[in-house]
Amino acid sequence: MPLPLRTRLFGWLLPRIPGGTVAGASAERIAAMQARVIPDTPITRAVKGGVADGVRLTEDQVPGAGGLLRARIYRPVGHDGDLPVVVHFHGGGWVLRNLEVSDWLCSRVAKGAQVVVVSVDYRLAPQHPFPAAVEDAVAATGWIARHAANVGGDATRMAVMGDSAGANLAAVVALAARDAGGPELRLQILLYPPTDLTGASPSLTEDPDALILTPLGRDTFLSLYLGAADPADPRASPLLATDHTGLPPTLIQVGDRDPLRDDASRYAAALRAAGVEVRGTIYLDAVHGFLSFPGVVPAARQALWEIVNEVRRHLHPAGDLSPADGGSDGRAS
């Protein structure tokens, strides 16, 4: 069954616009792509959405392993007191993107689930190869847990979330938090996560012309991120950790047209085998990264609804929610 026309058109157009692909790009070109901010226009908002109404957005900094990191904080308006905290890491192959790309997702999770979302930037490759991003993510999550009150958050009700490369980082943070004895996480939300960077998942090479994430594009990202590092290192490939017991309940989402679907399914199976509570969903007619462009992939709205409900279920005690704000509108704008 063919993908919706708007999804196919977007997938065809993306690699043809400036900053659409890193394959074959020079170091100078990659640096320019990293510095580029997507303009806020009616067209871009129609594709990637924007900040939800009823959410206050503030900018701050949090300490990473190598210095201060930019952070974007989303808090639902009209909710006093300490709210649960979701720490988010954006996608982009550990090489591209920034906090703005996650405005639609993070603001709607904040509003619908009545939580504070702290979206953390991290050092990007190739200037800062593995494990810089991992070390930043671990350090930032620990600092946010210790200083949650600074953003009106409750560190006893905390989750990590990430999409694509950010989901890889979120999974590694959950493993590190378990091994370090904290911070205690009640949920991890992994959106189309790359969990095995050794390339062992069959779906990675099934479609050489896959929209958004081609085999060439994936190989380029991994080369820039890992350099000479071992892709089997569990800090790069959380699926290859020797022990998955004791991890928090997990939501894993992936599209049926995503080359990373086997990575997602294999990680879900590994967690279940270790006794971890897992909810895994494969969305039909969804390509890689679909929650970053809700205006062109209809499945993004249903996926958002599932995320919001899982966050509410795990981070709010029974009866703790305001019925008036219980849902998320799912609109792209």
For the chain, give every domain's residue range.
Answer: 5-13+43-315
- Please tell me which residue in 103, 196, 258, 262 is annotated as part of the active site: 258
Percent of the chain with pLDDT over 70: 93
| 58 CB burial (10 A radius; 0-12, 13-18, 19+) | exposed
Nearest to 169 by CA among 197, 143, 210: 197
* Cβ atoms of 85 and 67 closer than 8 Å: no
Q: What is the DSSP string of 47-113?
A: HH--PPTTEEEEEEEEE-SSSEEEEEEEEETT--S-EEEEEEE--STTTS--GGGGHHHHHHHHHHH
C-beta neighbour count of 181 within 10 angstroms: 7
Which two three-digit tokens encode residue 272?
A: 């279940």
258 included as an active-site residue? yes
- Of these residues, 88, 244, 288, 314, which one is catalytic? 288
Average predicted confidence (pLDDT) for the chain: 92
pLDDT in tens, 110-168: 999 999 999 999 999 999 999 999 999 999 999 999 999 999 999 999 999 999 999 99
What pLDDT digit, counting tens, does each position of 56-99 carry? 999 999 999 999 999 999 999 998 889 999 999 999 999 998 99
Report residue 59 CA to chain centroid gap. 19
Write down the H helix ranges in 99-254: 103-113, 132-146, 165-180, 215-226
**Residue 164 annotated as catalytic:** yes
Options 102, 164, 203, 292, the catalytic residue: 164
Helix axis angle, 132-146 to 165-180, nearest 10°: 60
Which two tokens mark 60? 């701050």
Higher pLDDT, 223 or 330: 223
Please tell us whether the domain made up of 5-13+43-315 is placed in CATH 3.40.50.1820: yes
Q: Are 190 and 170 in contact (CB under 8 A)?
A: yes
**Which burial class, exposed, middle or buried, applies to 63 when counting CB atoms under 10 A from its CB (0-12, 13-18, 19+)?**
middle
